[in-house]
Chains A and B, each alone.
Chain A
Amino acid sequence: MNPAARVGALALIAALGAFAARAQIAQTDRKSGSAFMSAQTQEMQRDDGANPAMLAALDGEALWKAKTGDAAKSCADCHGEAQTSMKGVAARYPAYNEASAAPIDLQGRINLCRQDQQKATPLAPESRDLLALSAFIGLQSRGMATAPPDDPRLTPFRERGRALWSQRMGQLNFSCAQCHDDNWGKHLGSAPIPQAHANAYPIYRLEWQGMGSLQRRLRNCMSGVRAQAFPYGAQEFVELELHLAERARGMAVETPGVRP
């Protein structure tokens, strides 16, 4: 390689390095999705009397105390008062599950408990009851910092999630990172592109006129780029959730959130 070509190659490497650096959002630039909403929607989330997601959380509180399944046990029979026992739980999920040797998210955890402890049928994804329970459990972590566990067994799964995050997909051939790392703050049509921090799920989305989980939102984005969405409960989603939790480490939990 002649000296001029070597300088050119170095410049190219430096340029690629700068691109990579831009791709990740700096800690000080991180903003919750609520920062991109209108003042009215922010107020709706802030005011518990106006936040429609609180209706789901109240339903969840009733379910927490209701005995169900062949074991005729309620969540409260084992876990006691959710206000103390569930504090910080939603902030650290997804977590590693020994039995399946894989990570599970909070909704997966709820369904495992239903099957193993309550001897009840698992709740269907996006069912009213599952969203209500996860909203109620999530509410107990509101205001706490997102704190994904430092479990080395999660690392390979989180790495796969990170790879999926920058994997181009769909007919439009976009990756998550291209919108949410590289172009946040700009607009898609009239809608601002947020940074995609998953710190308020499950959310009440005004467009949906109802509650929805993070997986519903991810499927929404996937069909947006004309990709075949993973099915609910897919391992890929849990891996993406792990990466998102790491990305939002330290950010305050807003569950149950409102989004436009």
Chain B
Amino acid sequence: MARALVNVPAKVKRGDVVEIKVLISHPMETGFRPTPDGKFYPRDILKSFACTYDGEHVFSAELFPAVSANPFFSFTVVATQTGVLTFSWTDDKDQTQVQTAKIEVE
């Protein structure tokens, strides 16, 4: 499965606005690129991305063929409590990959 770089500050103060950055390794093949024999490379993209904070849905995105390879997400959450951020993304074959990161609130 794809490699991903998740960047979450390990320790934050309660009420802080925290920036979360996720970089996912994925070719994001559009389906419009011709092969040497004139056919097309089959489409292979990530369709959706979502993040939950202790089970609560805090961010989600729909992705389309125009999104670059190795998509990068950056968004903010308000640090309310120590908990787990769960990131999940789904590709064209409906396979979902999940990665988690802990956030500690002082």
Contacts and interface: CB of A to CB of B under 8 A. Distances in A.
Contacts of A59: 3, 25
Given A55-B70, A209-B68, A209-B69, A49 B23 contact: yes
A210 interface: yes
B7 interface: yes
A154 interface: no
Contacts of B70: 52, 55, 209
B21 interface: yes
A210 B74 CA distance: 20
A64 to B, nearest CB: 15
B69 A50 contact: no
Interface in B51-106: 68-70, 72, 74
Interface string A218-241: 000000000000000000000000
B5 interface: yes
B1 to A, nearest CB: 13
Contact of A210 (B7, B23, B69): B69
B34 to A, nearest CB: 16
A237 B5 CA distance: 34
Counting chain A residues whose Cβ lies within 8 A of the other chain, the interface size class is: 10 to 19
Contacts of B72: 50, 52
Nearest to B5: A49
A209 B32 CA distance: 15
B25 A55 contact: yes
Interface of A: 47-52, 54-55, 58-59, 206, 209-210
CB-CB nearest 9 A-B residue pairs: A49-B7, A209-B69, A52-B70, A55-B25, A49-B21, A55-B3, A49-B5, A58-B3, A50-B72
Interface of B: 3, 5, 7, 21, 23, 25, 27-28, 68-70, 72, 74
Given A49-B5, A209-B27, A209-B70, 9 more contacts: A49-B7, A50-B23, A50-B74, A51-B23, A52-B70, A54-B5, A54-B23, A209-B69, A210-B69
